[in-house]
Chain A
Amino acid sequence: MACFEIKDLNFSYPLRGKKALDHVDLVVEQGEFVVLCGKSGCGKSTLMRHLKPVLTPHGERDGEIYFHGVNLKDVSFRDQTSQIGYVLQNPDNQIVTDKVWHELSFGLESLGVDNETIRLRVAEMASYFGIQTWFRREVSGLSGGQKQLLNLASIMAMQPLVLLLDEPTSQLDPIAASDFLETIRKINREVGTTVIITEHRLEDVFPYADRVVVMDKGRIIANDTPRVVGRALKDENNEMFYALPSPMRIFSGVENDLECPLTVREGRAWISRLLDGADIRERRIYDEKVFDTSDPVVEMKEVWFRYEKESADIVKGLSVKIPKNKIFCIVGGNGTGKSTTMKLLTGILRPYRGKIKIGGKDIRKFKKNELFEHNLAMLPQNPQALFVKKTVREDLLEMLSGFDLSKEEKAAKVADVAKLVNIEDLLEQHPYDISGGEQQRAALAKVLLVEPKILLLDEPTKGLDNYFKFRLASILKELNKKGVSVIMVSHDIEFCASYGDSCSMFFDGDIVITETPNKFFSGNSFYTTSANRLSRHVFLNAVNNEDVIALCKRNLATK
């Protein structure tokens, strides 16, 4: 018997003409690992929510869903609570109580399970998920990855038959994200729980999937094994193709009739076979970017920082020159001091030793708000921290309230910036009603209205799908041309490699190396892009997918 059987499901939100779900037919077998993907707003979350009746949105709906042969409407609240587990996107918001152990037992308490059984189940879960060391801690002290793991464990404690996960890793850093997905796979393999997951970072999850379902405008457009779906997306020239793992994209870029690789390991084997027998003359890609610091816009000189006199140093003797009108990327692990460095640049924190110069002027010599007037601005990690008004337009206008401008001039400025970041259609909506990527662009528009010369970005690609990332990159390039220098801190290696002008590795409170992305990533063997890991045994400095494809093509031509 199938776990879920969806028969001709249609759904539309009230007061919206467009169908959110359009004739959806889908069968998910027991024990399957299904990845549901699609652009933001394609209806994947809506579909997921239909599989858990308490979370199903209100609206016009027809069609039936069967859960283990029973119509989902007839499944009681108690049964759906224990049998259908649902993990949401934001790790923080899902946690209800203040202690880890209490959170773990929350679902079981609701089900009215007695103390002895809860004790056993909680112990079991804590051991399985490796939570026992922080079992008695307060939840507020946990990292994002730990919080999401706790959410998962607290649902698994109810022993569900199926686990629904709605973009569970979008708010996590890449390492925590792959750990989390690894845990999901482990549950699927070892416990046999059916998994349905929506994701936009397909790199990690694709190789695990038994089946991939692609949605577009409320319809299912592909539903097959990962390899077949990859080929279909390529053939249809679908935007979702750019969200596929690097090995698949590289594979599709080169004419060949070998089997499609899913992982880096398979990709390496594929490229070896592809070029087998060819005389590899070209091993190097031309790197046109140069890292030049002769005219720095920001300069830090032996900067030291710690929060309290007794605490440990966080930034340790950091010296860096940041070039003008470029995209300067800082990468590195969690807790190495990246975000603290950003705060130092904005003057929120002050170093206890060393100098920071912004545009050639010592940061201490800036008067109160001078630093932020047409000079420096930062886009926070969570764009929601900026929105004040009921509509995006009002919000943008509010930003100009301090300036001495006429109404028309203000409106013109807002129109300009809206065009630049591509949010003209969203101006009348509430800032909280638009998607994550749109919110970010709206926030960016807001920041740009202060006309900064230096733009600081903290994790700008977090939670964005590849399509939005591409848009963001082109906006940043546009800003570079207009004389804005961009400094960004990111975990997103692929983004920095493709669009950055230089990359710096932050480690232990200091920048270890700064280079052009090509030199930077081709010099690393672990901390580098998948395209580079996939091709480094053949090519010397291919960092992006396009590099690998170009080199493959050139060498194949001589075969």
Chain B
Amino acid sequence: MSYDTFSTCHPLLNFCFFVLVIFFTMCFIHPVCLLISLTASFSYSVYLNGRKSLRFNLMIALPMMILAALMNPVFNHAGATILTYLPGGNPLTLEAIIYGFATAIMFVSVIFWFSCYNRIMTSDKFIYLFGRIIPSVSLVFSMVLRFVPKFKNQASVISNGQKCIGRDVTNGDRKQRLHSGFRIISILTTWALENGIETADSMRSRGYGLKGRTSFSIFHFDTRDKILACIMGVMVILAFVPIAAGAVHIVYYPMVVMNETTPFAVFNYISFGLLCYMPLLLDLMEDVRWRVLKSKI
């Protein structure tokens, strides 16, 4: 869990970033874009979550990717370049293999992006963004997040309490255990309803239900956010224009036809790359800045 600069940016930027990169990755299954997206998401998730995520990425996500890549040619027989025939008599085509790999990479990149999303878009940021649209929903969301740990905690208190008078859930035959389990749920429900009254009192005594409720947040949209938003906007346009102009395209079936590496296409690759690597670049810049600050002392 290392310090991350991007997560200190405004929630709107965080959210837009993820929407954009995931959208690009999913919609344009272009090999260069995919590789950029894969490497960026892989390194960012490792940067954010450390060793644990490295283990997950290598042990689970990569085998999954290879499996997904191998599955496609087994079921998909489109494509013009026939390599050999499968035991069932169906052709195994080069195009299907390539397409399989491309979709697998797309799939895994999106998973990696989501693992980053979970770290960056914490509940309060999400509430902030969507609470503005529907204020009551944001409150309910926040209350649920408050209630879940409270409920869990009370469940363990009750279970221990029952254990200490010899009513353990882990004891006895299946019927007894089921019975003990139900008992705990029953106590928990009564407890929740009873204590909920006090929560309701507390809400009413602080004016819940008055007209014109506002939604407070601790986030600012500062100059850095504005600059970043502009940069992101420019990147998106620069990445999109070549695609719209047809300079970047790919067709997998019946033959793999990709655009040539024209300067215009390279333009797209660089902009998209910058977009994907933006959080990491920010972190890098921050590191350098601190290094410099320290060396000056």
Contact = CB atoms under 8 A, between A and B. Distances in A.
Interface string A66-93: 0000000000011001100110111011
Contacts of A372: 163-166
A518 interface: no
Given A96-B143, A110-B207, A140-B150, A399 B216 contact: no
Contact of A77 (B162, B195, B210): B210
A380 interface: yes
Interface string B179-204: 00001001100110011101101111
B165 A386 contact: yes
Given A96-B143, A369-B166, A108 B201 contact: no
A156 to B, nearest CB: 11
Given A112-B213, A380-B160, A102 B142 contact: yes
A388 B171 contact: no
B194 A77 contact: no
Contact of B216 (A81, A115, A378): A115
B139 A97 contact: yes
A295 interface: no
Contacts of B190: 387, 432
Contact of B164 (A102, A115, A346): A346
A115 B165 contact: no
B246 interface: no
A348 B194 CA distance: 27
A86 B166 contact: no
A101 interface: yes
Given A102-B124, A111-B210, A343-B160, A93 B202 contact: yes
A470 B195 CA distance: 28
B157 A140 contact: no
Nearest to A108: B216
A64 interface: no
Contact of A94 (B199, B210, B212): B199
A96 B162 contact: no
Contacts of B168: 368-369
A109 B143 contact: no
Interface in B111-165: 123-124, 139, 142-143, 145-146, 149-150, 153-154, 157-158, 160-165
B164 A456 contact: yes
Contacts of A118: 214, 216
B253 interface: no
Contacts of A399: 165
A109 B163 CA distance: 43
B206 A385 contact: no
A434 to B, nearest CB: 12
Contacts of B160: 343, 346, 348, 380, 385
Given A109-B213, A110-B208, A119-B218, 10 more contacts: A93-B195, A93-B202, A96-B142, A102-B142, A107-B207, A115-B216, A119-B216, A158-B207, A377-B164, A450-B165
26 contacts: A54-B205, A55-B201, A55-B204, A77-B207, A92-B195, A96-B202, A98-B123, A105-B216, A110-B206, A118-B214, A119-B218, A140-B150, A140-B153, A158-B207, A348-B164, A377-B166, A378-B164, A378-B165, A382-B161, A384-B194, A385-B158, A385-B160, A388-B186, A399-B165, A447-B165, A450-B165
Interface of A: 52, 54-55, 77-78, 81-82, 85-86, 88-90, 92-99, 101-102, 105-115, 118-119, 122, 136, 138-140, 151, 154-155, 158, 343, 346, 348, 368-369, 372-373, 377-378, 380, 382, 384-388, 399, 432, 446-447, 450, 456
